[in-house]
C-alpha cells in the first residue's frame, strides 16, 4: 500500500525520546522510546509491502537544528523499519520562518505536489510553527476530496514539564477527529445559527 507521512520537524536544539505506549486515546503499544510520536504509530502500522513516502516539513532556523532533527527522524524510523522491511523514501520541504500569505500558499502547494492518488495519509503535528497544522488540514482535505486519498491518522504527542523543565508524562493523541469536525462544520447547511448549533449538538450526541 502507498503511504505518505507528513511530519513537522522542530527547530529546538535538544530532542527527548519518550515512551508513548498505551497513552492518550490511541491503541498503540509500541514500548520503545521515540523522539517523533508518529514513529510509534508507524512501528505498528507499516507492512513489508508498503511503499512509504516521508515528507519532512522543515522550517529554516539559524542554528540549523531543523536539519539535524530531520536526520534524527530518518535514523529513528530506519531503525524501526529494519525489522519490517517497508520501502521508505525521504524528502524535505524547507520554508522560511515567516507566516505570510505567500509562504502559506507555497507550503500548501509544495505538500500537494507530493501526494499521489489513492494514498494513505498520516501526519504528525507535534512540532513546528503553529500555522502548519492549519495548512496540513487544507492539504489532506484536498487530497481526500480530489485525489481519493484515505486519511488514516493525524497525531499529536503531548508532554508535561517537571520543575527542572524536563519533559515527562508523555501522551499520544490521535486528533484525526478534528479534521473530520472541520469538514463537518464547513459542509453544514442551516437557515440560522440556532439551527446550526442544534445540528452540531445532534451530531455530538450520536
119 contacts 149 by C-beta, under 8 angstroms: yes
Residue 72 has a pLDDT of 96
What is the spatial distance between Cα 138 and Cα 111, in angstroms, rounded to a whole number?
10
The cell for 125 is 503535528
Indicate the average pLDDT of the chain: 92
135 contacts 95 by C-beta, under 8 angstroms: no
pLDDT tens, position by position, 84-121: 999 999 999 998 888 899 999 999 999 999 999 999 99
**Percentage of residues of the chain with pLDDT beyond 90:** 69
pLDDT tens, position by position, 129-162: 899 999 999 999 999 999 999 999 999 999 999 9
Q: 202 pLDDT band (50/70/90 cuts)? A: confident
Residue 37 has a pLDDT of 95
E strand or H helix that includes residue 122: strand 120-124
Secondary structure of 56-120 in the HEC alphabet?
A: EEEECCCCCHHHHHHHHHHHHHHHHHCCCCCEEEEEEEEECCCCCHHHHHHHHHHHHCCCCCCCE
Residue 195 has a pLDDT of 83
Q: 124 pLDDT band (50/70/90 cuts)? A: very high
Exposed e or buried b per residue across 96-116, where buried means at least 16 C-beta atoms within 10 angstroms of its C-beta: eeeeeeebbeebbebbeebbe
Residue 130 DSSP label? T
pLDDT tens, position by position, 27-46: 888 999 999 999 999 999 99
The cell for 83 is 525489522
Count CB atoms within 10 A of the CB of residue 128: 21
Amino acid at each position: 500500500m502507498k503511504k505518505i507521512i507528513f511530519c513537522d520537524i522542530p527547530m529546538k536544539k535538544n530532542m527527548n525520546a519518550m515512551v508513548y505506549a498505551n497513552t492518550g486515546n490511541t491503541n498503540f503499544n509500541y514500548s520503545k522510546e521515540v523522539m517523533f510520536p508518529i514513529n510509534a504509530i508507524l512501528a505498528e502500522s507499516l507492512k513489508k509491502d508498503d511503499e512509504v513516502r516521508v515528507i519532512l516539513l522543515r522550517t529554516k532556523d539559524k542554528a540549523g537544528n531543523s536539519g539535524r532533527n530531520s536526520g534524527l527522524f530518518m535514523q529513528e524510523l530506519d531503525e524501526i523499519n529494519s525489522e519490517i522491511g517497508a520501502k521508505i523514501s525521504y524528502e524535505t520541504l524547507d520554508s522560511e520562518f515567516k507566516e505570510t500569505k505567500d509562504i502559506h500558499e507555497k507550503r500548501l502547494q509544495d505538500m500537494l505536489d507530493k501526494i499521489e492518488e489513492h494514498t494513505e495519509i498520516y501526519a504528525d503535528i507535534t512540532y513546528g510553527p503553529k500555522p502548519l497544522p492549519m495548512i496540513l488540514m487544507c492539504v489532506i482535505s484536498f487530497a481526500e476530496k480530489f485525489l481519493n486519498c484515505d486519511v488514516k491518522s493525524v497525531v499529536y504527542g503531548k508532554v508535561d514539564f517537571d520543575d527542572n523543565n524536563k519533559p515527562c508524562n508523555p501522551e499520544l493523541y490521535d486528533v484525526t477527529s478534528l479534521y473530520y469536525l472541520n469538514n463537518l462544520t464547513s459542509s453544514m447547511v442551516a437557515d440560522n445559527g440556532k439551527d446550526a448549533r442544534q445540528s452540531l449538538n445532534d451530531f455530538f450526541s450520536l
